[in-house]
Structure 1
Amino acid sequence: MSILEIFILALIQGFTEFLPVSSSAHLILPSQILGWNDQGLAFDVAVHIGTLLAVVIYFRKEVFTLLGAWGASFTGKHNGESRLAWFILLGSIPLGLAGFLGKDFIELYLRSAWVIAASTIIFGLLLWWVDVKAKQVKDEYELTLSNALFIGLSQAIALIPGTSRSGITMTAGLMLGMTRESAARYSFLLSIPAIIMSGGYMALGFLDEGVVVNWSELGYGAILSFVSAYLCITFFLKVISKMGMLPFVIYRLLLGAGLIIFLSV
C-alpha cells in the first residue's frame, strides 16, 4: 500500500469506529469507489489493535474497576460494576454468534455499495427519530438484563455494512431511555469485546494465509488508528450532549444519497 492509502484507511478506522457512521462501510468504500486493492487482513488487524488500545486507555479506570468487580462476583460479591461487566459480556454473545454463523452470507451478499447506501440511510433515520423521541433519563448502571440483551441483539445487526456498530447500539440505548452520554459510554465499553472478537477472527485468517507482511505498514496503521480513535472518543463525549445526533444523521443521509447517485451514473 502507498503511504496515502495507509494514512487514509487508518484515519477512517480510527475516526469512524466510535462515531455512529459505520467504520466497515468507510473501509469498504475506497476499494468500491476508488478502485484500491483490498488492504488485507493483516492491516485490518493492525488498525483494530489501534482502536482497541484507544478505547481501553481512555476508559482505563472503568475497565480496571469493571474487571475487578467481575472477578469479585465469582466470590459472591455483587454491585453495580459487576452487573455492568456481566451485561457487557452477555450483550456481546449475539454479535459473536451472528458473526460466526453468518460470515459467509455477509461476505457474499452484503458487502456491496448498494447495501451500504441503503443501511446508511435507513439506520441514520432511525437514529434521528429515536434521538428526538427518547426520554433520556437512565444511565448505564440502570440497565436490566433484558436491556443488555436487547442492545446486544441490536449490535449483531451492525454486521450489515453501513449500519454502524456504535450507531445501532446508541440507538438501542436511547430507545431504552438512556441519556446520550450514557448510551455512548456503554457503546464504547461494549466495543471492547466486539473489537477483540473481530480482530481475533481476522488474526486467525491472517495466520492461515501465511503471507509475508510489511511490518512498517502495520505499525503506521496501528499508531494512526490509535491516535485518531482516542481523539474521536474525547471529542464525541464532550460534545454529544450539546449537538445531539443530528450532525451524524445528516452526514449519513448525504453519504447514502451520494453513493446512490454515484452508483446510478
Structure 2
Amino acid sequence: MTSDPRTSQPTRFPGEPQQPSPGLVAEMKTKPDHGEESYVGKGLLKGKVALITGGDSGIGKAVAIAYAREGADVAISYLAVEQADAEDTRAWVEKAGQRCVLLPGDIRDRDHCVALVERTVADLGSLDILVNNAAAQTMNEDLASIDDDEMQDAFAANVFAMLRLAKAAAPHMKPGSAIVNTTSEQAKVAAKSMIVYAATKGAISSLTVGLSNLLIDKGIRVNAVAPGPIWTPIQPIAKSTEELETLGQDTPVGRAGQPAELAPAYVLLASREGSYMTGAVIAVTGGVPIN
C-alpha cells in the first residue's frame, strides 16, 4: 500500500447502492477498512473496559478493533437490526484475545442508556472508557422540508443520549478514565442540506468542553473527535449513488477517509498518551479546517 495520503485508500466508490436507515456494512459494495488487517496495538489500554455506542460498524467498529488490540475489553451498543455487523465486530475483538459484550437497543430510550452502563459494569467488571459515537444523520432540501419528528430523534440520539450515558457512567469511573465523543466537521461547516445534523454536532462540541470542565475534578478527561467525510454505512443512507462515487474529493486530501484512519485518535484520547488533553476536539477531516 502506498504511503501517499492522497492514494493510500480508495478515491472513488462507483456503483455504491443507497440503503435505508440505519445502514449495514454487510450491504455495502465497497467495504470500509476498519483496520481489520492493519491496526497493530501497543498495549496502551491493557486492562481497561470500554463502552462504545455504534460499535457495530463504521468508526465505532474501527475503535472497537483498535481498543481490543490495545488490550481493552469492549461492550458495544447498536440497534437490533444491525446484529450481523455487531457479530462481526465481536469476532474481531475476540480474535484479539479480549472479551466483547453485545448490547442491542435504542439509545434514544433514557432507560436503555442507564442499562448500557449497568450491563457493561456487570458483565466486564468496570468501566474506564465511554465512547459516544452512535449518531442519526438527517438531510433536508430546504427549511420547509425539515421533519419535526426526525429533528427530535436526531437530538435524542446525538445529544441527549450522550449526556445520559455520561451521567450514568461517571459514578463508575476512576481517575484516569476517559470519555471520547464523536462530533463532526459539520459542527463548523454546517452544509445547508445537513443543518439539523450540524446543530447536534455543534452541541456535542460544546458539551464536550462543558463536560471536561465538570469532570476533571474527578480525574476524568473528556475530549472529542471531529471526522470529515468517512466511508461508513451512514453515507449510503443520505447520499445518491452519484454523490457517493466522488465522496470526499472536495477535501484537500482529495478522498474520503476510512474508519481505520480515525481509530488512532480515539486511542490517543482514551490512553495515558493523552493525559494532558481534555476539552479538545481533534479534527480528522482530510484537511478541511474547523477552527
TM over 0.5: no
Higher relative contact order (CA 8 A, sep 6+): 1
Q: TM-score, normalised by structure 2?
A: 0.31
Q: TM-score, normalised by structure 1?
A: 0.34
Q: Higher strand fraction: Structure 1 or Structure 2?
A: 2
Q: Higher helix fraction: Structure 1 or Structure 2?
A: 1
